[in-house]
Structure 1
Amino acid sequence: MSHSPPVRRLADWDHTQLLDLAAEHDTPLYVLDPDRVAENYRRFSAAFPDADVMYAAKAHTGRAVLSTLLEAGADIECAARGELQRATEAGADPNTLQYTAVNPPDADLDYAVELAGDNPGLTITGGAEDTFDRLEARGYDGRVAIRINPGIGTGHHEKVATGKDAKFGIPAERVPDLADELRDRFDLVGLHAHVGSGVLTDEVEKHAQALGTVADLAREVGDDSLEFVDFGGGFGVPYHEDEPPLDIEAVAETVREAVGDLDATLKFEPGRYVVADAEVILTTVNTIKETQAATVVGVDASLSTLIRPAMFDSYHPIRSVSAPDRADEPVSVGGPCCTSADVFATDRPIARPERDDILAIGNAGAYGYELANNFHSQPRPAEVAIDGDDARVVRRRERMADVTRVEDEAPGAPDAERE
């Protein structure tokens, strides 16, 4: 059992090391702690000792993260073709992978079927009856699981309450008959459901009840005929400084009580819980503007570096690592993008920033680099992984040549025509 703290706050990071990294590698900069990734996975696994705990790759597909988790004994759950490829390139045995298809493009299904042809242990989860028809049309008759839509959603935002979103899964009332049909066409090995993300203490009971509904459906389908029932992820981490972390052992007990006895193996696929507090973003203050409405602090990170505040109105802690002991002052922190959505905090008490100060944005490991983009033709930042006092670059900083390469190398590019 891991005895690491259940959450890592921004104040727990080594500020001297962060300043040194910013000076050496420039900003914006993602700073990843792989040891923390492994600690979080081990803590979760210890709370569910009889379950198969996979990692939901969509939270962070960086090779440094995937290889760390594979070394820790995790299997990988993938939601797209690219994640299947990245998992195998990181060292995963394709026979252990689970592909959870959501409206999969043809190329994704082609890749998954081809991969399963040489690796029959791979499992493909379908969230629409049409997906199973498309698999059969490709000659696939291997391992499948049914993704259930239980009609119950939980999580930190309506956009992640997948359990009640018609986009995800097959209506629960249709699943028993579909299971009978699929047994004649495929090797039906499991059921899958994911009811929401970012669940914290006040939603644990509701989340567990939703999982209990899935377990009841598994018993109706015949849990003794299934290899596993996958209850997805959704377990959150506290983003606000005053929010307590999940007592994951107590959560596990609540879930076990709600689920009851099943002959099938239980599966869970945490993503955010594993990586969120294992990465921060370092950013440099470049502008201080006093207005009647607010003190505006401009930084070089933006919604192209971390889009969650713009997409979900998400709170991320921000702390000065240059001068954390200065008196706090309410400030608004925003980046260089030409949109009002490019704001990390509004009227947030932060140690009074000055130009060239380094700020850290916390809990950036989940859907941070994963959702990074090139808005305003901004090259994506570098990512470094720390190992004690040492650090290594695991993703170099993009150059403008990287941003424009797909145009420069296009067959219709002016240079290509001249050649």
Structure 2
Amino acid sequence: MSHASPPVRRLADWDHDRLSRLAAEHGTPLYVLDLDRVAANYERFASAFPDAHVMYAAKAHTGHAVLSKLLETGADIECAAWGELQRAIDAGADPDTLQYTAVNPPDRDLDYAVDLAEDHPGLTITGGARDTFDRLEARGYDGRVAIRINPGIGTGHHEKVATGKDAKFGIPYDEVPGLADEIGERFDLVGIHAHAGSGVLHDDLDDHCRAIAKVAEMGRTVEQSHDLAFVDFGGGFGVPYREDEDPLDMQVVGERVSEAVGDLDAQVKLEPGRYVVADAECILTEVNTVKETPAATVVGVDASLATLIRPAMFGSYHPIRNVSAPDRGAEPVSVGGPCCTSADVFCTDRPVARPEREDLLAIGNAGAYGYELANQFHSQPRPAEVAIEDDDARVVRERETLADVTRVER
């Protein structure tokens, strides 16, 4: 079974010869996606929670190839915007199985979801503000809803993803029982939802389980007066980005989460995103400049913060490996791209097998929020994406041209 695959895939585990061939054929920067790894990660996660309903959080990677592979593997899809709903449907999802988690939803998003629910009443809309429910009612909607609650406990790799204690997300905990009674009279209240944070590893697991226990307790409170179909604990389970970090033992995590949840009549839902896709994708980039300075050896590459913005946005660590010469002696280098900002740096003074001009470097763990956050800063067309599946490789996203960048201008 594929869920028996190693719990983390390091950059050294990729086939370097194949990566070199893909870069030569398709150019750089290039996203390389392993769809078999996506499926294996999902199956490993689902096997740790055999009694839960596991939904993939599409926002981590909304590519058609990823969604199609996960639907084929047996996943349902959770969406955070109307475009994700449409892309899930385009990939083959049954709209009646979708869950839409509305966060400060624009009118367009709510209009789309309400129209979709007219023909597909199985769609569930999750609201995290009283306004959202009022706006749904104003549109004539009275279907399936869930209440997103704020447990007051945030976890994860960065304060910007610790959603469980951010007032932007969810109804304040103490207000939920009263709101549930009100919502139950206006809609079909089917669930309670929460999300504590993102990138949770072993050091964060205690806090994460405290948040889960708090959400479960609210689920039991609401169950006393409402017939809930589910309590959704979100996702947030991380992968080790640094080489010295250990991966989660998902069987242990499953036991810890089950213990934190305790007894619930409603079904447990979980929404992994990052865990499923992060280590299933890397970025290939070519060295174009090596500059020795008194402060650092600067290595310039053709990828940039337009290709992968997470280091600039979150200070995120992504492993880097010299694919062309992995055994060359390592030297501390700073690797950055062609953007005219000091934020365009992938690492600073990090030991890497000494890069030379035209070497191919790989940047790891790019599958979660990598291409999703890619942009066109400096009029850089976004890169191509190649998917590996079984023994085949195919382009699943064409490299943009400058004409693509300027097409919508008038």
Task: Give the alignment's TM-score, normalised by structure 2.
Answer: 0.99
Question: SS of the counterpart of 2:253?
Answer: helix
Find 2:364's aligned residue among 359, 362, 365.
362
Secondary structure of the equivalent of 1:348?
strand
- Write the deviation string for residues 101-130 of structure 1: whole angstroms up to 9, x where unpaired: 000000000000000111000000000000
Aligned residue among 295, 311, 314 for 2:313: 311
Match of 2:146 in 1: 145
The 5 A counterparts of 1:322-361 are: 322-361=324-363
Q: Which residue of 2 is the match for residue 37 of structure 1?
A: 38
SS at match of 2:338: coil
Once residues 269 and 257 of structure 2 are traced to their aligned partners in structure 1, the CA distance between those partners, rounded to angstroms, is 12
1:17 matched to 2:18? The reply is yes
Who is 1:183 aligned against?
184
Report the AA paired with residue 31 of structure 1. V
CA drift at 1:389: 3.6
Q: Report deviation, 1:222.
A: 1.2
Where 2:195 maps in the other structure, the secondary structure is: coil
Name the SS for the 2:355 alignment partner.
coil
What residue in structure 1 maps to residue 249 of structure 2?
247
Q: Distance in 2 between matches of 1:256 and 1:267?
A: 12
Residue 174 (structure 1) aligns with = 175
State the 1:84 CA deviation: 0.3
Which residue of 2 is the match for residue 292 of structure 1? Answer: 294
CA distances 1:153-207 after superposition (whole Å, capped 9, x unpaired)? 0000000000000000000100000000011100000000000000001111110
Q: Which residue is equivalent to 2:204?
A: 203
Q: Is the 8 A contact 2:192 2:230 kept in 1?
A: yes
CA distance in 1, matches of 2:260, 2:97: 28
1:390 Cα deviation after fit: 2.3
Amino acid at match of 1:50: D
1:387 Cα deviation after fit: 2.2
8 Å contact 1:67–1:91 — kept in the other structure? yes
1:377 aligns with 2:403: no
Count of aligned pairs? 408
Structure 1 match to 2:220: 219
Kept after mapping to 1: 8 A contact 2:36/2:390:
no
Aligned with 1:406: secondary structure?
Answer: coil
1:72 equivalent in structure 2: 73
Mapped to 1, the partners of 2:12 and 2:128 lie a distance apart of 42
Match of 1:124 in 2: 125
Which sections of structure 1, spanning at least 5 residues, go unmatched? 408-412, 414-419
Per-residue CA deviation, residues 355-389 of structure 1 (Å, 9 max, x unaligned), is 00000000000000000000001000000001244
TM-score (ref. length: structure 1): 0.97
Tell me, yes or no, if structure 1 residue 157 matches structure 2 residue 158.
yes
Distance, in Å, in 1 between the alignment partners of 2:204 and 2:132 is: 32
CA distance in 2, matches of 1:58, 1:258: 26
Identity %: 79
TM-fit CA distance, 1:225: 1.3
Q: For 1:327-347, what per-residue CA distance to the aligned partner results, in whole angstroms no more than 9, with x for missing partners?
A: 000000000000000000000
Report 1:96-115 matches (<5 A): 96-115=97-116
Distance 1:206 1:78 in 2: 25
| 1:295, distance to aligned residue in structure 2 (A) | 0.1
CA distance in 1, matches of 2:204, 2:323: 33
Task: Name 1:410's counterpart in structure 2.
Answer: none
C-alpha separation in 1, matches of 2:181 and 2:73: 37
Q: Conserved in 2, the CA contact under 8 Å of 1:327 and 1:352?
A: yes
In 2, Cα distance between equivalents of 1:218 and 1:48: 19
Give me the whole-angstrom Cα distance separating, in 2, the residues matched to 1:53 and 1:218.
18
User: Once structures 1 and 2 are overlaid, which stretch shifts more, 371-380 or 200-209?
Assistant: 200-209
Contact kept, 8 Å, 1:17 with 1:389, in 2: the verdict is no
Secondary structure (helix, strand or coil) at the match of 2:284 reads: strand
- Give the Cα separation in 2 of the matches to 1:371 and 1:248: 28
Deviation at 1:259, TM superposition (A): 1.1
| Moved beyond 2 Å, runs of 4+ | 387-390
